[in-house]
Structure formats: C-alpha cells, structure tokens
Structure 1
Amino acid sequence: MSDEMTDVGGLRVVIVDDHAMFRAGVRHEIGQHCNVVGEGEDVATAVAVIVATEPDVVLLDVHLPGGGGAEVIKQVLPTRPDVKFLALSVSDAAQDVIGVIRAGARGYVTKSINSEELLEGMARVAAGDAVFSPRLAGFVLDAFSGAIDVSAIDEELDRLSVREREVMKLIARGYSYREVAKELFISIKTVETHVSSVLRKLQLSNRHQLTKWATDRHLV
C-alpha cells in the first residue's frame, strides 16, 4: 500500500452486502487500513448497524434483500446526513448507477476494483468528493444531460419485480431459457412465465424487442 493511503486509517466503515464471503473478503482487504465498525446483509440490518455506529463511509451493494441499496440510503440520510455512501456492486447497468446516485450515494464503483483504488475512493468520498469507475461516470453525465430518460427508466423498471429484472437482463444478453434457468436456479417453465410477464408489462412483443429496449437504456 502506498504512503498516500496512510490517512485512511481513521475512517470508520460499514460493509453492506448480502454475500457473507464477499463481506469477509472486503474486510480482509481493507480492515488493516481502516476501521470496519460493522456489517449488514439486507436493508434492515444495514440501516440498524449504520444508525448504531454512524460510520464515515458505507460500502453498499446495490441489490439487497428488503428493497436494495437505494432503500438503505433513503432510510439513513434523513437522520444521519453526514454518512457517506459508496456503492460497490458487480452491476454496471445504468439504472443501478443512476438509481443509487439519485438516492444520495456519493460514488459508484464495480467489484473489479482493487483494494488500493477502493481505499482511495473511500477517502475521497469521506472528504466529500464524488467517485466513479470511468465507464459509470458516463451514465451519470448522460442522465444529467438528458441523453438517458431517467424518469422513463425508473417508471418502466418499477413495473418489474426483482426476479423479472434478473430474467430480463439475461434474456437481453442472449441467454437461452435453459441457460437463464441454470443461472438463477429456477425451472425453464418459471423462466417462460417471467419472460411473458416482462413482455406484457413493458408492452413488447418478442425477445428481439426486449433486447433493444434493454440496450437502449444501457441495462446490459
């Protein structure tokens, strides 16, 4: 670790992710360079630990049981406005980035980031800066410039359940029904049901239209 990171030692950090092994990995990577004061695995546990410990920075996954990372931010910021949130997610989809930033996160980085970059990002967010992985910054600029219709993304996506969104993204990426079923540990018939529901809710006719719909919105 470079000397530039020595001032991170005083940071109090909470790690929020629904995968225990990932939380353990992050704690191992950053724990000797900052003070990890708690962890959360869903919206309820995340809000509770953040309110109790009042950390400087929360490393927050976007997809969480109970409503997602944006819901954690919405519940915390009204009473803990000094807590800074840095989204740390495997997703690089536009609606995830825009949604959590609109909720109040100060940055968004993907899980491919290395530990030194993550620590630097945490320090910058704690100091009040905004931090983004390079590609993701473009989504935010597009949203503010009007190139992405944020309201349309939110309104249409809100019609879909979490599982429907997962199925939609995989189908849009070219997965077969069988491959989607294997990826999500559900039956092919369940995949068919979800796809039919997605097409109906989005008023689309086939998977070709669905792929175009998702691509136009930078969802895949």
Structure 2
Amino acid sequence: MTATDLLRVVLVDDHAMFRTGVRAELGGAVEIVAEAGDVDEAVAAIERHRPDVVLLDVHLPGGGGAEVIRRVGTRVPETKFLALSVSDAAEDVIGVIRGGARGYVTKNITGAELVDAIRRVSGGDAVFSPRLAGFVLDAFAGTIEVAQVDSDLDRLTEREREVMRLIARGYAYKEVAKELFISVKTVETHVSSVLRKLQLSSRHELTRWASDRRLI
C-alpha cells in the first residue's frame, strides 16, 4: 500500500499521552491527519480534513463521542466513526452506536487489531470487541431497556456515574477515591447522591441495579 493509499484518520482523545501511544502502535499503517482533545477541536478537525475514519473516545471535555457525531451530522457522510474507549459499560457502547458510530473497541486492543478494525469500519463493516457486541445485540433485541437506562442515568452527573460503576463493581470507598483522585468524603457524598437519585437504599441494591442494566 502506497502513502497515497493510506486511510486518513483523525484521532480524538483528551489524553495526549494516549494519542502518542496510538500513533506509535499504528505506525505507518494509516495516516493520522489530525488529533483533537475535546468536542470542539474534534468537530473542527473532522470538517476540515474529512477523514476516512475517526478514532473517537466516548468521554470528552465539552460532551462525548456521540456529541461529536451529532454535531458533524451529515456534513461528512464519507467519514466513519470507530469508538476507542477504556469503558466497556453498556450505556457507553449503546449510546455511541445509537449516535452513529460503526464500531466500538476497548483500549486494550493491540495495534494490529486496531489497524484491522479501522480498515474494516472504513469498508463498511461494523466492528465490536466480542463482549460489546453482545450489548448491542441485546439492545436491539429488547433485552436491555435502552430508553429506561438513559432516563435513569440522565439523573446522574458524569462523576456520579463513575463512582456508581466502581461501587457497583465492589470497590471500597478508599479504592474509589484513589482511582478517581478524589477524597473519601467526596466519594461518600457522591454515593449518597446516587442512592437518593435512583431511589435505592444500599450498596447491595445499587450493585443489583447496575448489574440488571448491564452497567458493570
């Protein structure tokens, strides 16, 4: 494949070190024409460069991956979107796919696998990590009540969602504080708020609530 045949990619992630790592992993297999660290930068880069594929993180300053796709809209119909995120939560997968992404892979993917995913998405395929494909199938089959999950989660701030997911996975308050770089007291405040908003009374109920909705 010559340089002129390389797929043109815009890389969107708010962590510069991660973008550097992705560049190194992809090597010369694709041409990264631009990088962006938030929603506004991403929209501007996509509209300017009109890439073949956008590698898109789900959570970004100024909104999220789905917001980037929504704002670009139909102005770049030739561009395909591939979500690349650390999150494997059902609401993140379903939300960005509903927004218009053609695939969703997690950040533990290898460089070779990512190149293959980019090429497949560019060619029109839908590409998912195996566990994530199940979420999408369940959502379309009606097993996951997507509208209800969205409605429930809309009550929570993004930080409350992060705390909720870690608590539901069995993390202690001290572990959550360390993971999110916040104080234990702040964790306690967020947990109380989450329980109140979701009308739950205990960590046990929260874990069951999150498990039933495929959020952990």
Question: Structure 1 length as normaliser, TM-score?
Answer: 0.94
Map Cα deviations across residues 138-158 of structure 1 (whole Å, 9 max, x no partner). Answer: 110000000100001111111
Provide the residue aligned with 1:135 in structure 2: 131
Q: Match of 1:113, as an amino acid?
A: I
Q: Choose which of 30, 34, 40 in structure 2 pairs with 1:34.
A: 30
Provide the residue aligned with 1:3 in structure 2: none
Provide the residue aligned with 1:150 in structure 2: 146
| Alpha-carbon offset, residue 7 of structure 1 | 8.1
Q: Choose which of 156, 171, 179 in structure 2 pairs with 1:175.
A: 171
Partners of 2:119 and 2:156 lie apart in 1 by: 36
Structure-2 change in CA distance of 1:41 and 1:215 (3 Å): same
Q: Match of 1:33, as an amino acid?
A: A
Map Cα deviations across residues 117-141 of structure 1 (whole Å, 9 max, x no partner). Answer: 1111111111111011111111100
Partners of 2:7 and 2:34 lie apart in 1 by: 12
Q: Is the 8 A contact 1:15 1:40 kept in 2?
A: yes
Provide the residue aligned with 2:15 in structure 1: 19
Q: Is the 8 A contact 1:89 1:109 kept in 2?
A: yes
Q: Match of 1:110, as an amino acid?
A: T
Q: Is the 8 A contact 1:77 1:83 kept in 2?
A: no
Provide the residue aligned with 2:189 in structure 1: 193
Structure-2 change in CA distance of 1:33 and 1:189 (3 Å): same
Query: Alpha carbon RMSD of aligned pairs, Å?
Result: 1.3
Q: Is the 8 A contact 1:172 1:207 kept in 2?
A: yes
Structure-2 change in CA distance of 1:170 and 1:7 (3 Å): farther
Q: Choose which of 95, 99, 102 in structure 2 pairs with 1:99.
A: 95
Q: How many residues end up aligned between the 2 structures?
A: 215
Three-state SS of the structure 1 residue aligned to 2:121 is helix
Three-state SS of the structure 2 residue aligned to 1:36 is strand
Could you list the structure 1 runs, at least 4 aligned residues long, displaced by more than 6 angstroms after superposition.
none
Partners of 1:94 and 1:206 lie apart in 2 by: 22
Task: Answer yes or no: is 1:87 the counterpart of 2:45.
Answer: no
Q: Match of 1:46, as an amino acid?
A: A
| Alpha-carbon offset, residue 66 of structure 1 | 1.1
Three-state SS of the structure 2 residue aligned to 1:156 is helix
Q: Choose which of 61, 66, 78 in structure 1 pairs with 2:62.
A: 66
| Alpha-carbon offset, residue 188 of structure 1 | 1.3
Q: Match of 2:183, as an amino acid?
A: S
Question: Structure 2 length as normaliser, TM-score?
Answer: 0.96
Q: Which residues of structure 2 form unaligned runs of 5+?
A: none
Partners of 1:115 and 1:108 lie apart in 2 by: 15
Q: Is the 8 A contact 1:54 1:80 kept in 2?
A: yes
93-102 or 188-197, which moves further after superposition?
Answer: 188-197
Map Cα deviations across residues 10-31 of structure 1 (whole Å, 9 max, x no partner). Answer: 2000111111111001111214
Task: Answer yes or no: is 1:119 the counterpart of 2:115.
Answer: yes
Partners of 1:169 and 1:154 lie apart in 2 by: 15
- Percent sequence identity over matched residues? 70
